[in-house]
Structure 1
Amino acid sequence: MNIRTILPAIVLMAASTALAQPPEGDDINRKSTYQYTPAKENLEAREWFQDARFGLFIHWGVYSVLGDGEWVMQNQGIPAKTYEKLPGFFNPVRYDAAEWVRIARAAGMRYITITSKHHDGFAMYDSKASDYDIVDRTPYGRDVIKALVEEARKEGIKVFFYHSQLDWHHPDYYPRGRTGRASERPESGDFDAYLRYMDTQLTELLTNYGPIGGIWFDGQWDKADENWQLARTYQLIHRLQPAALVGSNHHQSPFPGEDFQMFEKDLPGANTTGFNTTAIGALPRETCETINGAWGFNLQDRRHKSTKELVQYLARAAGADANFLLNVGPMPDGRIQPEHVERLQQVGQWLQVNGASIYGTRQGPIAPRSWGVTTKKGSTVYVHVLDWQDAEIAIPSLGGTPRRATYLKGGGAARFTVQPDGTVLIALDPKARDDYDTVIAFEM
């Protein structure tokens, strides 16, 4: 990799100031004395984040050319020098940032998280720390991240940057982790030099694109016992943009300096994938899931989730007090697959009627059940009936005395009685039934 020797003054100054004196006890991924006190604007951003509830995840990179997912370099054992040819084929002439933002808005999404750099080490923005990026190495030659940020800002949608800590291309990512061993890089390197390179790229992202929603880290699990100098990196982010939220997909309980806890392909407290922690911390939560079976574009992937599955996952996430970050993997020409656009539009149509039961809510008084979940906002409790099999449904106490109940679909009154033990018996109206999620608003 050709590292340029001259960086813009603002990048160099911010990075050198941040990296000069790493704090004592920096190994916060193991044992730490690092203390983090979030700024006022950070706490406000956390509140906004919880209210937003629904975001669009975008995995897009030169790997889309091969149509075999974002892990193609690892899965096909492609050496780094061979993989370097791939950017020459990446020319997304049908990429339209305004259209992507329109799709997100129509789906009812409040923020977008996009890959600025994935595990293959290729930057999807104009990096000055390396020429291994979309501007310098592809025939397209334009900064797709900048275009997306500008269009999203016009529409009031926040943008987060997914940034891989793991790097299968950089020579200083050494010793090797669990992955990337077929890259045929020299068996030597300076890991701290790599971390400083990563922080320099983060500085670019935090200084060249205006205010952003935050940084979404991934890849620390590749070398879970390594000293990642997290305090140094997290302090850099919080100093440059105090409101930016930091999250990391390390599958463990949050570390000092992080602002939200994420769960990959699992709701909080579950571990069906085998790598998530079941411990739930006090930070805002987010669960991410694919719209089909892959994160990056996969030509032969037909495992498209139905609109019903997506709406119900959104409801179950809100019922677990978590955001839902739903992923699409755009095609190499820059378009989002039509079948995915259609599903997103349908989710958005459901939210136009039922959004009050999702946006700005918190976990309801009843723990998730097989039949559904509850959410709450102010004095209103929303009952989400996801599995409707009987004409009546009995639910535990709603934490108070309900005064009235209304179906969000159609606005009709819902008939109910309260039993002596507090159980609420609801007589479900077939005319108010929603094929995805029947929501009843109880005013307490």
Structure 2
Amino acid sequence: MTDHKKYSVVIAGGGSTFTPGFVLDLIKSQDKFPLSELKFYDNDAERQEKIAKAVEIIIKERAPQIKFSYTTDPKTAFTGVDFVMGSIRVGKYEMRNMDEKIPLKYGVMGQETTGPGGMAYGLRSIPAIIEIIDWMEEYSPNAWMINYSNTIAIVAEACRRLRPNARVINICDMPIDDMDRMAHICGLDSWHDIDFNYYGLNHFGWWKEVRNKKTGEDLMPKLKEYVKEHGYYVGGDYDKDTEASWIQTFKKVAEEYAIEPETLPNNYMQYYYFPKWEVENADPNHTRTDEILEHRQKIVFGECKRIVDAGTAEKNIWDIAGLHSEYIVDICHAIAFNTHEKFLANCTNNGAISNMDPDSVVEVPALFGADGIQPMATGEAGRFQRGLMMEQQTCEKLVVDAYVEHSYNKMLQALTLSKTVPDASIAKKILDEMMVVNKPYWPELK
């Protein structure tokens, strides 16, 4: 490392249950992405403090050279920073619970980032992300925002339209999880050992090519042979801590692959290929939100309390690095040190997928450097994939239309067009109920 600069980072969403693990990975990566200061920002002071008090101990023990603070004041948070990490959940888990359960009441899949739930979440997220961008531009105009707050596709479309010149990069780590599984299926160490060609929308894409990064070997034949039987499920030690719902998701990829065997699908395609199956196999009274509240949230806040009570963070539960936080650190390193490494970004198409509209927001490989991202050409989308993408991206654009125009009709059109919703009458029932619970967060739709 030739540059001796150290960076100031603010995590917008300091109360997230993912924050402690991210901080541990930042600390472990000081040779790669050195920090002078780390700040948390959240509008929920009580929730943030539970996380921050534990993180304060972690930093004091492991990286005392990093100045640490947390605040609910935007000016304090966003002044003098080089990077903003967007990790917010507007409405917290109470609203995610509604995103999942309201559609299921009407026989429609309930999922936080896809279908009606994803649209509801996206509409809530737009004003909050725009507000954070504006704070960053006011207080630290040279900073970069790395946003991984959902619903990414809708947020990215809103950024494209409402803040086209903002220094914001919208990313998602889900394809990295799939690629890490591909690497282990092929006997490689991690996703870092894979080169790839991928295209689609967020939580809605396909791999056209997967190769061994070192040797150039085409890994697609081996992967296809494996995936048609097992999906992306690896098993053994790799999956010993994988939750049952995720094991089912990774195994379901085998059926997704059978529909279009020229490519390999993102695991989220199950929600679009098999929405009826999703409903039939869901418990409308106990969804993914309930699982998280019963397990991850209790574990994270319990561990934070344990650390604070003990006054030490030795042998904490986050000492094993996670793909999510590793990926974000890698991206920050690429921007800070202008490495032009290849990662996935959600960005304006402008020819990256040659047969999609230029103003489509797509998820494609891009080179990351000090000047931001340079999307790479991925060629044509297949006829089947393009048809699905055109439908889904139109839903996403209609949600942003609804936000900009305060239009009930545009939001109704978005839900009606979704492949997950059977007809307009069901779309209207879902929307009318969602409008009531989202009143504190959505613009008034007329």
With the shorter chain as reference, the TM-score category is under 0.3
Q: Which protein is bigger by CA-based radius of gyration?
A: 1
TM-score normalized by the length of structure 2: 0.27
